[in-house]
Copies of this chain bind each other. A is one copy, B any other.
């Protein structure tokens, strides 16, 4: 099926799955519940949280769901026509998007973010509804939990119509765990010393594998391959070989967009990550270029001060971006992305897919990266 036809299916399917698994109806319509029904006084809050579940689920680019479907179709070559099995693959694909929403709801609480996808973040919206920040944050934590439970329920229901059903759930749970570990590691980078750029680069790249590659590329590929009937060990091996470099490159590109993108494209102000003091490979490469351990230059010292301060000014953000450019850190990230993309392509080439299927999968993978870095 074409990417645009898939996209048209994904969006309404996510809404209907979230409504069924985390919507207001779960307090009534589930005859099987051990606690059906609610008195009137409790209904408005539940309705507001359920509505926020839907609002928070809207507006993603759906790259992860599209990759899951593309991975399935590449292996089940010719079998991308509508069928109960492909509907089940669609549900698994949507479950990854629901998981992302769950993770973002918690992430926005952790980062104290006001906005997400151009709208108020979930806990901010719920705070406004409740008229109480503490209650709103509590409801945000529970909304994230509810969505995380919902996505497993979606996979568990869909898996019964697919091959390797037990394995599909295992892979999905592993993906969740890896992202959770990645978030923990990401928080630990916040408290790292900045006097060893090589250690910072290594730590950032480790975090990218756990926090980003896991659910952005590796799990979508593995779940798609499994759902098409590929043997579990092969599905895992190919998904890691293709998906890990691609996922790390995707995160590098995302970090580049923050310093070089335009607000019209990203929906975020340029330098937002820098303003938050986010430490990443760009910072590590800039610090490395400005002198290794113990050989700090004045610019290097200022960069370290900026990223250890409590907050950053407009001047700080401007200086950091200029320094990332002047030191070649931006060029170095572009070079890393090109290398990782080549590694991912080589891994795809070993999969012995038929030529058309291989080309479609590669074209889907290329969508994760800036066009000028993958078309050489």
Residue ranges of A at the interface with B (Cβ–Cβ < 8 Å): 21-22, 26-27, 30, 32-35, 37-42, 44-46, 49, 106, 109-110, 112, 130-132, 134-135, 137-139, 141-146, 148-150, 152-153, 156, 160, 166, 169-170, 173-178, 180-185, 187-192, 196, 199-200, 202-203, 206-207, 209-210, 213-214, 218-219, 222, 236, 239-240, 243-244
Contact = CB atoms under 8 A, between A and B. Distances in A.
A38 to B, nearest CB: 6
A139 B199 CA distance: 22
B134 A153 contact: no
Count this chain's copies in the assembly.
Answer: 2
B190 A173 contact: no
24 contacts: A34-B218, A34-B236, A34-B239, A35-B210, A35-B213, A35-B218, A35-B244, A38-B206, A41-B202, A41-B203, A42-B185, A42-B188, A109-B141, A142-B183, A144-B145, A145-B145, A148-B148, A148-B149, A149-B173, A149-B177, A152-B152, A152-B173, A153-B173, A156-B173
Contacts of A170: 153, 156
Given A141-B110, A187-B135, A190-B135, A34 B180 contact: no
B33 A178 contact: yes
Contacts of A132: 190-191
Contacts of A138: 110, 183, 187
A345 to B, nearest CB: 19
A26 B184 CA distance: 13
A39 B142 contact: no
A236 to B, nearest CB: 7
B191 A177 contact: no
Given A45-B191, A110-B137, A149-B173, 11 more contacts: A37-B206, A45-B188, A106-B141, A106-B142, A130-B187, A138-B183, A139-B184, A145-B145, A152-B152, A153-B170, A153-B177
Given A141-B106, A240-B34, A49 B184 contact: yes
A301 B135 CA distance: 25
A109 B37 CA distance: 28
Contacts of A135: 187, 190-191
Contact of A174 (B34, B45, B110): B34
A45 B149 contact: no
Contact of A187 (B139, B149, B189, B243): B139
A190 B132 CA distance: 10
B34 A214 contact: yes
A26 B202 contact: no
